[in-house]
Amino acid sequence: MKGLKNLYKWGKKYILYIFLIIGLNALLQWLYSYLPLFVQYVFKLLRNEDLNVNLPKWLTNFYDNYTDIIQVILIVASSMIALQAVRSILRFINNYLTGFLTEKIANDMRINLYDHIGDLSYTYHNRVDTGDLIQRSTSDIDTSSGFFSGKLPDLFNIFFTIFIGAMQVYKINPTLMWVSLIIVPISGISSVIYFKYVYRTFKRIEDLESNMTTIIQENVNSSRVVRAFSNEKFEFEKMDKANKSYSDSIQKFSNMMAIYWGSSDGMVMLQYVLTFSVGIILAKQGLVDVGDITACLLLMGMLIWPIRGLGRIIAEFGKTIVALGRIEEVLEEPSEFIDNGTLMPQINGNIEFKNVKFKFDDDNKSLLNGISFNINAGETIAIVGKTGSGKSTICNLLTRMLEYNDGSIKIDGIELKEIEKRYLRKNIKIVLQDPFLYSKTVYENIGITTKAKDETSIHRASKIASLHDEVMKFENGYDTLVGEKGTTLSGGQKQRVAIARILVDESPIIIFDDSLSALDTKTDLMIRSALKNKDKKQTMIIITHRTTTAKEADKIIVLDNGTISQIGTHEELVKLDGLYKDLWGIQGELEEEFYSLLGGEF
């Protein structure tokens, strides 16, 4: 029932087109049902039998004007050609409409799904496999949209064809009609059983296919890592296993199809033999003649076609219901903007965390247990702490990628949950540790998030990010293509493109999520002092492992075990026993010494 509801949901907008296509198909079948009657007429004419054929009266009257039998046969043949010509035109219109309908529905599905995927929460995207999502957005959409224009009219055609064919046979002889319909209930019952099997099997096949897509996608994305660790054999075996399970399921399904189609073909042959035998008996009793039997057998061909095609239609129907269900599963995921704020206040950059607690849904232990701190607009704070201590989570809470369970976060005195999410994210920019560059030029990559893409602001941002001089050394300067198809930039260069990108539009709050650690200490320092000396002050949160980076901050927050274990300036914290002093002792002093030996500024 849910599957049918899904079908209706996507089809209702085009219901007129669907009915038009179904109507055209019915008309095509109806016209086709007259072809055997012309043959019947000719047979009767040649055998001098009674010419009571169910052709339109005006047509048989027209044939009666001619006495020469050859002339009549030629005219009947011309009528058949004319009928086929009309059918060809109708078939053309039908094919045009089906193509149009398929694309319209596929387009609607793609847009809806793509739009919705963009609105799904950070947690959802962390949870699902990309390969599976891609499969739902591509092949599941193709399967579903194709059904509306292809197999759905075919499904209706089955009923029309059986009805129209049976009516024509009825007019020839009612007994023959009942005999020729014996197959209908048998194939009806077997098709219901077959549908259940197809539905179950396709669900499994789709899961196996998306698992395989995920493996391929992961392998392509991580080809460097796989090679570096000589992990090809392991990856191949993983793919081989997934591929085998997928192939086995397809093979099992093909076997089942072969059994169903083979047995339905057998039933069809039995039906032919039965109708033919009953026809002979009726002819012997003088109730029908040769012309009638010939027409009946030709009409049987028409009746039998949909029954033979039923297996294919059911398979497609099952596939479509599964594919539509998979699309619907994504669409039913609630958008992260359901729980959105409405305020769009001027943001200056004052941040206040008060007893903030956070726990992941799938975790039984809280990650943050009452975090409190203040940052004044224009200040720089550093967050340090062990891996997994919740540093990135604090930033994700601030941008509402995750929602805090308890406590309060305020920006310029306004509760975060009151602020509209997209507006908030326009005002708080994050540079991630592993930045993503588009397959575009360096210039476009820097300017991608802002509408003010003038050269001056892009060059200015690039200079602050210590990138400009290096880009100018490239053969094509800012027009150098980067990303998948272009020049491969070094990790540090990529990082700086990402930093320049967020500096272009001068958001009041910027977060560096462990993104400065990928740079050498000197570049890191240059960027930070350029940021410090800017006219427009921005609030900066720097997550770092490097104490020499943290040292420069106005305030350092040390996270440990879900709480803030220390908070203060570098000078204050190095005097106190604790994690910061230990860290500084291990790396900071060493690094400072190292740089002073090299004669570098620090």
Q: Which residues bind ligand ADP (CB under 6 A)?
A: 126, 360, 362-363, 367, 385, 387-393
Residue number with CB closer to ligand ADP (117 or 395)? 395
CB 504 within 8 A of CB 450: yes
Shortest Å, Cβ 393 to ligand ADP: 3
Residue number with CB closer to ligand ADP (390 or 483)? 390
CB 135 within 8 A of CB 213: yes
Shortest Å, Cβ 548 to ligand ADP: 19
Total residues found in the chain within this entry: 602
User: ∠ at Cα 122 (121, 127), nearest 5°?
Assistant: 100
Distance from the first to the final alpha carbon of the chain = 70
Shortest Å, Cβ 494 to ligand ADP: 20
CB 320 within 8 A of CB 144: yes
Residue number with CB closer to ligand ADP (362 or 535)? 362
Shortest Å, Cβ 375 to ligand ADP: 18
Helix, strand, coil percentages, rounded to 5, for the chain: 65, 10, 25
Residue number with CB closer to ligand ADP (171 or 545)? 545
Sorted by sequence, the CB contacts under 8 Å of residue 164 that are 6+ apart come out as 26, 29, 30, 33
Residue number with CB closer to ligand ADP (362 or 571)? 362
Shortest Å, Cβ 318 to ligand ADP: 35
Q: H/E/C letters for each residue in 367-401? A: CEEEEEEEECCCCEEEEEECCCCCHHHHHHHHCCC
Shortest Å, Cβ 401 to ligand ADP: 11
Residue number with CB closer to ligand ADP (128 or 239)? 128
Residue number with CB closer to ligand ADP (45 or 567)? 567
- Identify each DSSP E strand in 124-242 by its residue range: none
Q: Could you tell me which residues are beta bridge partners of residue 555?
A: 381
Shortest Å, Cβ 404 to ligand ADP: 13
CA distances (Å), 589 to each of 476, 583, 602, in order? 41, 9, 12
The helix/strand/coil state of 510 is strand
Shortest Å, Cβ 15 to ligand ADP: 42
Shortest Å, Cβ 561 to ligand ADP: 11
How far apart CA 392 and CA 294 sit, in angstroms, is: 80
Shortest Å, Cβ 389 to ligand ADP: 4
Residue number with CB closer to ligand ADP (319 or 555)? 555
Question: The sheet that has 351-358: what strands, in order across it?
Answer: 368-375, 351-358, 406-411, 414-415
Tell me the torsion sign for CA atoms 386, 387, 391, 397: negative
Residue number with CB closer to ligand ADP (261 or 360)? 360
Residue number with CB closer to ligand ADP (135 or 389)? 389
Residue number with CB closer to ligand ADP (426 or 545)? 545
Nearest residue to 307 via CA among 252, 270, 255, 253:
270
Shortest Å, Cβ 381 to ligand ADP: 15
* 534: amino acid identity, one letter: K
Residue number with CB closer to ligand ADP (146 or 390)? 390
Residue number with CB closer to ligand ADP (48 or 364)? 364
Residue number with CB closer to ligand ADP (165 or 390)? 390
CB 394 within 8 A of CB 420: no
**Angle of helix 521-532 versus helix 491-503 axis, rounded to 10:** 10
How far apart CA 119 and CA 115 sit, in angstroms, is: 7
Sorted by sequence, the CB contacts under 8 Å of residue 512 that are 6+ apart come out as 430, 431, 499, 540, 541, 542, 543, 544
Shortest Å, Cβ 513 to ligand ADP: 7
Residue number with CB closer to ligand ADP (302 or 356)? 356
Q: How many CB atoms lie within 10 A of CB 326?
A: 21
Shortest Å, Cβ 436 to ligand ADP: 17
CB 407 within 8 A of CB 489: no
Q: Could you tell me which residues are beta bridge partners of residue 356?
A: 371
Quick one: how far is CA 219 from the chain centroid?
A: 20
How far apart CA 406 and CA 371 sit, in angstroms, is: 10
Shortest Å, Cβ 188 to ligand ADP: 49
How far apart CA 329 and CA 113 sit, in angstroms, is: 10
Nearest residue to 530 via CA among 473, 462, 598:
462
Shortest Å, Cβ 402 to ligand ADP: 9
